Amino acid sequence: MTRSATRPTSRDVARTAGVSQATVSLVLGGKWRGRVSERTAGEVRDAARALGYRPNLAARNLRLGSTRTALLVVPALTSEFFARVYTGAAAVAAEHGFGLVLYPSPAGVGPAPSPFDPARTALDGVIASSMAVDAPAAIHGSHLPLVMLDSDPEAPGSAACVNPDIADGMRRVAAHVLGLGHRSLLHLGSAVASWTFDVRAAALAEAVREAPGAGLRTARSPLDVTAACDALVAALAGPGPRPTAIVCDDDILAAGACKALRRLGLRVPDDVSVTGFDDLALATAVEPELTTVRLPAEQVGERGMTALLAVLEGREPASEALPVRLVVRGSTAPPPR
Protein backbone atom coordinates (compact mmCIF):
# COMPACT_ATOMS: atom_id res chain seq x y z
CA MET A 1 0.00 0.00 0.00
CA THR A 2 1.39 3.40 -0.92
CA ARG A 3 1.88 6.19 1.58
CA SER A 4 -0.62 8.42 -0.23
CA ALA A 5 -3.32 5.77 0.26
CA THR A 6 -2.86 5.78 4.03
CA ARG A 7 -2.52 9.53 4.50
CA PRO A 8 -4.92 10.68 7.26
CA THR A 9 -7.76 13.00 6.27
CA SER A 10 -9.66 15.74 8.08
CA ARG A 11 -12.42 13.19 8.58
CA ASP A 12 -9.97 10.98 10.49
CA VAL A 13 -8.98 13.95 12.68
CA ALA A 14 -12.64 14.79 13.30
CA ARG A 15 -13.42 11.18 14.26
CA THR A 16 -10.43 10.99 16.62
CA ALA A 17 -11.21 14.33 18.30
CA GLY A 18 -14.95 13.65 18.42
CA VAL A 19 -15.88 16.78 16.51
CA SER A 20 -17.22 17.73 13.09
CA GLN A 21 -15.07 18.23 10.00
CA ALA A 22 -16.18 21.86 10.01
CA THR A 23 -14.64 22.26 13.48
CA VAL A 24 -11.41 20.67 12.26
CA SER A 25 -11.34 23.11 9.35
CA LEU A 26 -11.87 26.09 11.66
CA VAL A 27 -9.16 25.04 14.09
CA LEU A 28 -6.50 24.04 11.59
CA GLY A 29 -7.35 27.07 9.46
CA GLY A 30 -6.72 29.40 12.40
CA LYS A 31 -10.29 30.73 12.45
CA TRP A 32 -11.59 29.00 15.58
CA ARG A 33 -11.39 31.84 18.11
CA GLY A 34 -14.86 32.91 19.16
CA ARG A 35 -16.37 29.84 17.50
CA VAL A 36 -14.65 26.89 19.18
CA SER A 37 -13.51 26.54 22.78
CA GLU A 38 -9.80 26.55 23.66
CA ARG A 39 -10.15 23.00 24.97
CA THR A 40 -11.74 21.69 21.78
CA ALA A 41 -9.16 23.47 19.63
CA GLY A 42 -6.42 21.79 21.65
CA GLU A 43 -8.03 18.39 21.22
CA VAL A 44 -8.21 18.89 17.45
CA ARG A 45 -4.56 19.92 17.25
CA ASP A 46 -3.56 16.95 19.44
CA ALA A 47 -5.51 14.58 17.20
CA ALA A 48 -3.91 16.04 14.07
CA ARG A 49 -0.43 15.65 15.55
CA ALA A 50 -1.10 12.10 16.73
CA LEU A 51 -2.31 11.09 13.27
CA GLY A 52 0.40 12.98 11.43
CA TYR A 53 -2.26 14.92 9.55
CA ARG A 54 -1.17 17.79 7.32
CA PRO A 55 -3.81 19.89 5.55
CA ASN A 56 -3.57 20.28 1.79
CA LEU A 57 -2.56 23.94 1.90
CA ALA A 58 -2.30 24.29 -1.85
CA ALA A 59 -5.90 23.21 -2.39
CA ARG A 60 -7.20 25.30 0.50
CA ASN A 61 -5.31 28.40 -0.61
CA LEU A 62 -6.62 28.00 -4.15
CA ARG A 63 -10.15 27.97 -2.77
CA LEU A 64 -9.57 30.99 -0.55
CA GLY A 65 -7.54 33.05 -3.03
CA SER A 66 -4.81 33.32 -0.39
CA THR A 67 -1.20 32.19 -0.20
CA ARG A 68 -1.18 32.16 3.64
CA THR A 69 2.33 33.57 3.48
CA ALA A 70 3.64 36.68 5.23
CA LEU A 71 6.89 38.59 4.78
CA LEU A 72 8.94 39.71 7.80
CA VAL A 73 11.27 42.57 6.83
CA VAL A 74 14.16 43.29 9.21
CA PRO A 75 17.16 45.65 8.95
CA ALA A 76 19.72 42.85 9.29
CA LEU A 77 19.99 39.06 9.56
CA THR A 78 22.99 39.23 11.91
CA SER A 79 21.16 40.70 14.90
CA GLU A 80 20.09 38.40 17.70
CA PHE A 81 17.15 40.70 18.41
CA PHE A 82 15.64 40.17 14.95
CA ALA A 83 16.28 36.43 15.14
CA ARG A 84 14.18 36.33 18.30
CA VAL A 85 11.48 38.47 16.67
CA TYR A 86 11.36 35.96 13.81
CA THR A 87 11.16 33.02 16.23
CA GLY A 88 8.10 34.52 17.93
CA ALA A 89 6.37 35.46 14.68
CA ALA A 90 7.09 32.09 13.06
CA ALA A 91 5.59 30.20 16.00
CA VAL A 92 2.28 32.05 15.69
CA ALA A 93 2.35 31.75 11.89
CA ALA A 94 2.84 27.99 12.08
CA GLU A 95 -0.01 27.63 14.56
CA HIS A 96 -2.32 29.25 12.00
CA GLY A 97 -1.04 27.44 8.93
CA PHE A 98 0.94 30.43 7.63
CA GLY A 99 4.40 30.49 6.16
CA LEU A 100 6.75 33.31 7.16
CA VAL A 101 9.53 34.54 4.88
CA LEU A 102 12.38 36.46 6.51
CA TYR A 103 13.79 39.24 4.35
CA PRO A 104 16.60 41.72 5.11
CA SER A 105 16.35 45.41 4.29
CA PRO A 106 19.84 46.71 3.41
CA ALA A 107 21.15 49.16 6.03
CA GLY A 108 17.62 49.39 7.41
CA VAL A 109 16.77 51.87 4.66
CA GLY A 110 14.38 50.08 2.35
CA PRO A 111 13.61 46.65 0.96
CA ALA A 112 15.99 45.05 -1.51
CA PRO A 113 14.62 43.84 -4.86
CA SER A 114 11.88 41.43 -3.90
CA PRO A 115 12.19 37.71 -4.66
CA PHE A 116 8.45 37.85 -5.39
CA ASP A 117 7.35 39.40 -8.67
CA PRO A 118 5.02 41.02 -8.08
CA ALA A 119 5.01 40.72 -4.27
CA ARG A 120 1.27 41.06 -3.87
CA THR A 121 0.65 37.89 -5.87
CA ALA A 122 2.72 35.77 -3.45
CA LEU A 123 2.01 37.33 -0.05
CA ASP A 124 -0.95 38.06 2.18
CA GLY A 125 0.78 40.70 4.30
CA VAL A 126 4.01 42.29 5.52
CA ILE A 127 5.50 42.72 8.99
CA ALA A 128 8.36 45.24 9.15
CA SER A 129 10.58 45.64 12.21
CA SER A 130 12.66 48.63 13.34
CA MET A 131 12.85 50.32 9.97
CA ALA A 132 14.77 53.50 9.21
CA VAL A 133 12.53 56.54 8.88
CA ASP A 134 12.25 56.40 5.09
CA ALA A 135 11.80 52.64 4.75
CA PRO A 136 8.04 52.33 5.40
CA ALA A 137 7.20 54.41 2.31
CA ALA A 138 8.87 51.82 0.08
CA ILE A 139 7.05 48.97 1.81
CA HIS A 140 3.69 50.75 1.57
CA GLY A 141 3.99 50.63 -2.21
CA SER A 142 3.18 46.91 -2.18
CA HIS A 143 -0.45 47.70 -1.20
CA LEU A 144 -0.37 44.75 1.19
CA PRO A 145 -1.56 44.89 4.82
CA LEU A 146 1.40 46.20 6.82
CA VAL A 147 2.16 45.70 10.52
CA MET A 148 5.07 47.72 11.92
CA LEU A 149 7.19 46.53 14.86
CA ASP A 150 9.29 48.82 17.07
CA SER A 151 8.31 51.69 14.79
CA ASP A 152 6.46 54.99 14.74
CA PRO A 153 2.79 54.28 15.58
CA GLU A 154 1.81 57.47 13.72
CA ALA A 155 3.50 56.46 10.45
CA PRO A 156 0.98 56.51 7.58
CA GLY A 157 0.01 53.32 5.80
CA SER A 158 0.41 50.75 8.56
CA ALA A 159 -2.62 48.73 9.61
CA ALA A 160 -1.19 48.09 13.10
CA CYS A 161 1.91 48.81 15.17
CA VAL A 162 3.45 46.65 17.90
CA ASN A 163 6.02 48.32 20.15
CA PRO A 164 7.94 47.48 23.29
CA ASP A 165 7.83 50.41 25.72
CA ILE A 166 11.12 51.89 24.50
CA ALA A 167 10.67 55.25 26.26
CA ASP A 168 10.04 53.55 29.60
CA GLY A 169 13.16 51.46 29.11
CA MET A 170 15.37 54.50 28.63
CA ARG A 171 13.69 56.29 31.53
CA ARG A 172 14.59 53.31 33.71
CA VAL A 173 18.21 53.48 32.56
CA ALA A 174 18.36 57.21 33.27
CA ALA A 175 16.76 56.81 36.70
CA HIS A 176 19.28 54.10 37.59
CA VAL A 177 22.34 56.07 36.45
CA LEU A 178 21.19 59.36 37.95
CA GLY A 179 20.18 57.56 41.13
CA LEU A 180 23.75 56.31 41.51
CA GLY A 181 24.84 59.95 41.56
CA HIS A 182 26.08 60.46 38.00
CA ARG A 183 25.64 63.99 36.68
CA SER A 184 28.01 64.04 33.69
CA LEU A 185 26.56 61.71 31.05
CA LEU A 186 27.43 60.92 27.45
CA HIS A 187 24.85 59.37 25.13
CA LEU A 188 26.44 57.04 22.57
CA GLY A 189 23.61 56.94 20.06
CA SER A 190 22.95 55.05 16.86
CA ALA A 191 23.82 56.82 13.62
CA VAL A 192 20.75 55.22 11.98
CA ALA A 193 17.79 57.61 11.94
CA SER A 194 14.81 55.55 13.14
CA TRP A 195 11.86 55.96 15.47
CA THR A 196 13.16 53.56 18.08
CA PHE A 197 16.50 55.40 18.48
CA ASP A 198 14.82 58.81 18.37
CA VAL A 199 12.59 57.74 21.28
CA ARG A 200 15.59 56.56 23.29
CA ALA A 201 17.40 59.86 22.77
CA ALA A 202 14.35 61.95 23.67
CA ALA A 203 13.58 59.99 26.84
CA LEU A 204 17.19 60.24 28.03
CA ALA A 205 17.43 63.96 27.30
CA GLU A 206 14.19 64.66 29.18
CA ALA A 207 15.33 62.68 32.23
CA VAL A 208 18.67 64.51 32.35
CA ARG A 209 16.95 67.91 32.01
CA GLU A 210 14.84 67.11 35.05
CA ALA A 211 17.85 66.09 37.20
CA PRO A 212 19.45 69.04 39.04
CA GLY A 213 23.03 69.63 37.99
CA ALA A 214 23.04 66.94 35.32
CA GLY A 215 24.47 67.41 31.83
CA LEU A 216 24.38 65.33 28.67
CA ARG A 217 26.61 65.17 25.59
CA THR A 218 25.93 63.04 22.51
CA ALA A 219 28.14 61.07 20.14
CA ARG A 220 26.87 58.84 17.34
CA SER A 221 28.13 55.65 15.77
CA PRO A 222 27.09 52.92 13.34
CA LEU A 223 25.88 49.77 15.07
CA ASP A 224 29.30 48.15 15.12
CA VAL A 225 31.68 47.44 18.01
CA THR A 226 34.78 48.84 16.30
CA ALA A 227 32.97 51.94 15.05
CA ALA A 228 31.52 52.55 18.51
CA CYS A 229 34.97 52.22 20.06
CA ASP A 230 36.42 54.76 17.65
CA ALA A 231 33.47 57.14 18.12
CA LEU A 232 33.81 57.15 21.89
CA VAL A 233 37.60 57.61 21.80
CA ALA A 234 37.05 60.65 19.57
CA ALA A 235 34.28 62.01 21.81
CA LEU A 236 36.39 61.69 24.97
CA ALA A 237 39.29 63.46 23.26
CA GLY A 238 37.10 66.54 22.78
CA PRO A 239 36.73 69.48 25.15
CA GLY A 240 34.80 69.35 28.39
CA PRO A 241 34.86 67.18 31.51
CA ARG A 242 35.06 63.43 31.15
CA PRO A 243 31.61 61.84 31.60
CA THR A 244 31.20 59.42 34.48
CA ALA A 245 28.49 57.42 32.69
CA ILE A 246 28.07 56.33 29.04
CA VAL A 247 24.46 55.55 28.10
CA CYS A 248 24.34 53.55 24.87
CA ASP A 249 21.48 52.95 22.44
CA ASP A 250 22.13 49.22 22.36
CA ASP A 251 24.45 46.51 23.67
CA ILE A 252 26.66 46.51 20.56
CA LEU A 253 27.49 50.18 21.10
CA ALA A 254 28.01 49.50 24.80
CA ALA A 255 30.53 46.75 24.01
CA GLY A 256 32.40 49.23 21.81
CA ALA A 257 32.29 51.78 24.62
CA CYS A 258 33.83 49.31 27.08
CA LYS A 259 36.58 48.55 24.54
CA ALA A 260 37.31 52.26 24.11
CA LEU A 261 37.52 52.86 27.84
CA ARG A 262 39.98 49.98 28.27
CA ARG A 263 42.06 51.41 25.41
CA LEU A 264 42.21 54.71 27.31
CA GLY A 265 43.23 53.02 30.55
CA LEU A 266 39.86 53.59 32.26
CA ARG A 267 38.03 50.97 34.30
CA VAL A 268 34.35 50.01 34.05
CA PRO A 269 32.59 50.80 36.34
CA ASP A 270 35.23 52.21 38.72
CA ASP A 271 36.04 55.19 36.50
CA VAL A 272 33.11 55.21 34.07
CA SER A 273 29.78 53.36 34.13
CA VAL A 274 28.32 51.95 30.89
CA THR A 275 24.76 50.90 30.04
CA GLY A 276 23.36 49.07 27.03
CA PHE A 277 19.90 48.37 25.61
CA ASP A 278 18.22 45.18 24.25
CA ASP A 279 19.87 42.57 26.55
CA LEU A 280 21.50 40.55 23.78
CA ALA A 281 23.74 37.58 24.59
CA LEU A 282 26.60 40.06 24.16
CA ALA A 283 25.49 41.78 27.38
CA THR A 284 26.74 38.86 29.47
CA ALA A 285 29.73 38.05 27.22
CA VAL A 286 31.61 41.26 28.08
CA GLU A 287 33.34 41.84 31.40
CA PRO A 288 31.92 43.35 33.49
CA GLU A 289 28.48 42.28 32.32
CA LEU A 290 26.26 45.07 31.03
CA THR A 291 23.47 46.85 32.81
CA THR A 292 20.87 46.97 30.07
CA VAL A 293 17.17 46.92 29.16
CA ARG A 294 15.59 43.60 28.29
CA LEU A 295 13.20 43.84 25.35
CA PRO A 296 10.60 41.07 24.85
CA ALA A 297 11.78 40.32 21.29
CA GLU A 298 9.94 37.02 20.84
CA GLN A 299 6.75 38.54 22.22
CA VAL A 300 7.11 41.43 19.76
CA GLY A 301 7.22 38.88 16.93
CA GLU A 302 4.29 36.91 18.35
CA ARG A 303 2.19 40.05 18.77
CA GLY A 304 3.15 41.27 15.29
CA MET A 305 2.01 38.08 13.56
CA THR A 306 -1.13 38.02 15.69
CA ALA A 307 -1.87 41.61 14.67
CA LEU A 308 -1.46 40.75 10.98
CA LEU A 309 -3.85 37.81 11.34
CA ALA A 310 -6.37 40.11 13.02
CA VAL A 311 -6.08 42.64 10.17
CA LEU A 312 -6.54 39.91 7.55
CA GLU A 313 -9.66 38.70 9.38
CA GLY A 314 -11.09 42.20 9.78
CA ARG A 315 -10.56 42.34 13.55
CA GLU A 316 -9.01 45.12 15.65
CA PRO A 317 -5.46 44.20 16.75
CA ALA A 318 -4.16 44.87 20.26
CA SER A 319 -2.31 48.18 20.53
CA GLU A 320 -0.82 48.46 24.02
CA ALA A 321 2.97 48.72 24.40
CA LEU A 322 4.82 45.66 25.69
CA PRO A 323 6.58 46.11 29.05
CA VAL A 324 10.39 46.10 29.27
CA ARG A 325 12.73 45.46 32.20
CA LEU A 326 15.94 47.05 33.46
CA VAL A 327 18.59 44.42 34.21
CA VAL A 328 21.29 45.77 36.54
CA ARG A 329 24.69 44.11 36.26
CA GLY A 330 28.31 44.98 36.97
CA SER A 331 28.92 47.75 34.42
CA THR A 332 27.32 50.48 36.58
CA ALA A 333 28.34 51.88 39.97
CA PRO A 334 28.40 55.25 41.73
CA PRO A 335 30.72 57.80 40.10
CA PRO A 336 34.31 58.04 41.41
CA ARG A 337 34.91 60.58 44.13
Per-residue pLDDT, 292: 98
Per-residue pLDDT, 136: 55
Per-residue pLDDT, 264: 96
Distance CA 105, CA 138 (A): 11
CATH code matching the domain that covers 64-163+297-319, chosen among 3.40.50.2300, 2.60.40.10, 3.30.365.10, 3.10.580.10? 3.40.50.2300
Q: Using 50 as the pLDDT threshold, list the residues of the chain that sit under it.
A: 1-5, 57-65, 109-113, 115-121
Domain boundaries 4-55, CATH class: mainly alpha
Assigned superfamily of 166-295:
Response regulator (3.40.50.2300)
Decide: 104 and 76 in contact? Cβ < 8 Å.
yes
Distance CA 122, CA 115 (A): 10
The model carries a pTM of 0.76
- CATH 1.10.260.40 location in the chain: 4-55
- CATH 3.40.50.2300 location in the chain: 64-163+297-319, 166-295
Decide: 7 and 41 in contact? Cβ < 8 Å.
no
